[in-house]
Amino acid sequence: MRVIILESAADIAVQAGNIFVELLKEKPDAVLGLATGATPVPTYKYLIDCYNKGKVSFKDAVSFNLDEYIGLNKEHPNSYYFFMMDMLFSHVNMRKDMIHVPNGVAEDIEKECRDYDALIEQFGGIDVQLLGIGTNGHIGFNEPSDAFSEGTYVTDLTKSTIESNKIYFPNGDMPTKAITMGIGSIMKAKKVILISTGHSKAKAIKAMIEGEVTPSCPASILQKHSDAVIFLDRDAASLLA
Ligand code: F6R
């Protein structure tokens, strides 16, 4: 695990974004693992800027997102599919049929989970997986529990995740379940970049980097990944020894 502490969220966006820019230069048909939430938004803005300046093309790229709320379809403004279109895909030359976000309204959700993992494999696996981290140490929607999950599955969201994300659902209709890539799926990515900013993440960051590897802090598994890079601002890094 390589930990890099930077001055600002903007610096993180440039460093994390450049990893994708370089990847796509070397491998135009790369498989990108993407995340939603507030943290990656500056990175996506930076990638859009690079695209507009002709520094990167998504023409042959493939993407797989980490997760989706159960019960929200692609058109729902709070769905992660909608978020990705809004924040990145509709602004770059990504092929729509190469965009993959788990389907939170699949009729057969168990099959959706199995198919999602199989499709990632079919494309040769994820080259670079971008991650944020929850205040409780979750990655994707892998919440603290007593065992590390494997492939894509449906999970109940914890109180702390519902607390953090309910601001996006002012009508109080936040889903309580999500479909998420499992820890096993995330660990298969060839490279993982976790980005985190702000004091609210400092405790989870300390547990991830300095704590023991335990499913009670799912992100701690990244200590065992052979190529994990963690970009932090000073606030997120503030509790590190
Ligand atoms: C989103 C995801 C989550 C978020 C995490 C942090 O696809 O998988 O693990 O990365 O909840 O969210 P923000 O960035 O909003 O603090």
Among the listed residues 193, 233, 198, the one whose alpha carbon sits nearest the alpha carbon of residue 6: 233
**pLDDT at residue number 239:** 98
**Hey, which residues does 129 pair with through a beta bridge?**
33, 192
Amino acid sitting at position 81: Y
First to last CA, the chain: 15
Mean pLDDT per 10-residue section of the chain, whose length is 241 residues: 97 98 98 98 98 98 98 96 98 98 98 98 98 97 97 96 93 96 98 98 98 98 98 98 96
Q: Choose the catalytic residue: 65, 67, 112, 127.
A: 67
pTM: 0.97
Of 43, 100, 116, 133, the residue with max ligand 1 atoms within 8 A of its CB, to mutate for a pocket test, comes to 133
User: 110 C-alpha to center of ligand 1: Å?
Assistant: 23
199 is known as an active-site residue = no
User: What's the CA-to-centroid distance between 134 and ligand 1, angstroms?
Assistant: 6
pLDDT computed for residue 166 by the predictor: 94
- In this prediction, residue 123 carries a pLDDT of 98
pLDDT of residue 73: 97
Contact call for residues 171 and 136 (beta carbons, < 8 A):
no
Annotated active-site residue 225? The verdict is no
Question: What's the pLDDT at 185?
Answer: 97
CA 177/CA 236 separation, integer angstroms: 27
pLDDT at 133: 98
Q: For residue 233, indicate whether it is catalytic.
A: no
**Strand (E) positions, the chain?**
2-6, 31-34, 62-65, 67-69, 99-100, 128-131, 153-156, 177-180, 191-196, 228-233
| Ligand 1 pocket member 35 (CB < 6 A) | yes
Judge if the beta carbon of residue 63 lies within 6 A of ligand 1: no
Give CA 48 to chain center in angstroms.
18
How many A from CA of 139 to the centre of ligand 1? Answer: 7
Nearest to 87, CA basis, from 52, 45, 25:
45
67 catalytic? Reply is yes
Q: How far, in Å, is the centroid of ligand 1 from the Cα of 95? A: 24
Give me the pLDDT at residue 91, please: 98
Q: Look at residue 83 and give its three-state secondary structure.
A: helix
